[in-house]
Amino acid sequence: MSSAVLESKAADYDVEDVEYLRHGDKPLLARVFTPRGPGPFPALVEVHGGAWCMSDRKTEHLRHEFMASHGIVSIALDFRSGTETPYPASVQDINYAVRWAKAHARDLKTRPELVALSGQSSGGHLAMLVAMRPHDPRYSAIALPPGSPRVDASVPCVVMSWPVINPLSRYRHAKRAIAGGEEWGKSIVPRHDAYWRDEENMAEGNPMLALERGEKVQLPPAIWFQARGDEVHDYKDTESNFPGNEPQRFVANYRKAGGDIELVYIDMERHKGHSPDLSQIDGAFADMVKFVGKHIKV
């Protein structure tokens, strides 16, 4: 499938909830948006935001619907919440989901090498963390069923929307906001505490600091979409010597390590402490489709 075909609007798509994993008596579902037609199609394992503790596979449906209507299988995940199970539980679920999608590629109208990752806010962090450390034994600890194909969680590209790329700096940024009388930090800090438990974990499960530590990680092509005026995700880490904000800092680190990454600013209203209105950014969705078409050749 050429990028021109990928960017053209598909006639329709189907939606189905599928159990991809189970913990005890609790199923984890993926809502799969599948373009109609024979395929194979590129696929995105989609990781929702919500400060690691909120939201579900349904929250960001406008993005999933756009992807499917433009020829991309969108696999929107539920995963264990930080209010229930701390780091790295959700990372394990997402790593498993990538391998599950590859193992079931034919049923999903894709191929294993066409399965990529996408995430928003804390989901962007999780998507990048899984992509950078696909073979980490902690993250890949959940085995596929016996007889499954031998696949890993490596991906050809990553799409991020305003990711919390440095959980430690954002935690301290939120605490400073509270000290300065800003309300948004009062909801953020408890969610960091619930998921991460301590600052040591925030520093360890941290794509920004992993690069600055010189950790050997995978660096698939990536794109970062960032809303203007979003002080919750686009801010200066006052404890870093880097002159720019966190998006520019991560991009510089990623490129220095040998990775290919784009940073795209978009115009949309952002209200601190509230989920963004995704109906405002069809243009960014179209750019996501173009990025996928550039890096995933069917």
pLDDT for res 269: 73
- How far, in Å, CA of 117 to CA of 128, rounded? 8
Break the chain into its structural domains and give their ranges: 3-166+206-295
Amino acid 64 reads H
Calculate ∠ Cα 52-254-171, nearest 5°: 30
Tokens at residue 63, please? 């993005």
Parallel, antiparallel, or unpaired: how do β-strands 222-227 and 261-266 relate? Answer: parallel
What DSSP assignment string belongs to the chain?
--HHHHHSPPS-EEEEEEEEEEETTEEEEEEEEEESSS----EEEEE--STTTS--TTTTHHHHHHHHHTT-EEEEEP---TTTS-TTHHHHHHHHHHHHHHHTTTTTTS-GGGEEEEEETHHHHHHHHHHH-TT-TTTT-SPPPTT-----S--S-EEEES----HHHHHHHHHHHHHTT-STHHHHHHHHHHHH-SHHHHHHT-HHHHHHTT-------EEEEEETT-TTTS---TTS--SS-HHHHHHHHHHHTT--EEEEEE-----TTS---GGG-HHHHHHHHHHHHHH---
What are the residues whose beta carbons fall under 8 Å from the beta carbon of 232, sequence distance 6 or more? 170, 184, 188, 270, 272, 273
Distance (Å, whole) CA 237 – CA 252: 14
Please give the CATH topology (third level) of the domain spanning 3-166+206-295: Rossmann fold (3.40.50)
Q: 64 vs 14, 164, 205, 289, CA distance in Å?
A: 11, 20, 27, 11
Beta bridge partners of 226: 265
Spatial contact of 39 and 110, defined as CB atoms under 8 Å apart: yes
The reported pLDDT for the residue numbered 5 is 40
Give the residues of the chain that fall short of pLDDT 50: 1-7
Q: Which residue has the tokens 């440095």?
A: 166
40 preceded by a cis bond (ω within 30 of 0): yes
246 burial (CB, 10 Å; 0-12 / 13-18 / 19+) is buried
The pLDDT score that the predictor gives to residue 270 is: 65
Residue 298 pLDDT: 87
The two tokens of residue 260 are: 């290919």
Query: And the tokens for 247?
Result: 């998006």
pTM above 0.85, yes or no: yes
pLDDT at 293: 97
pLDDT value of position 1: 40
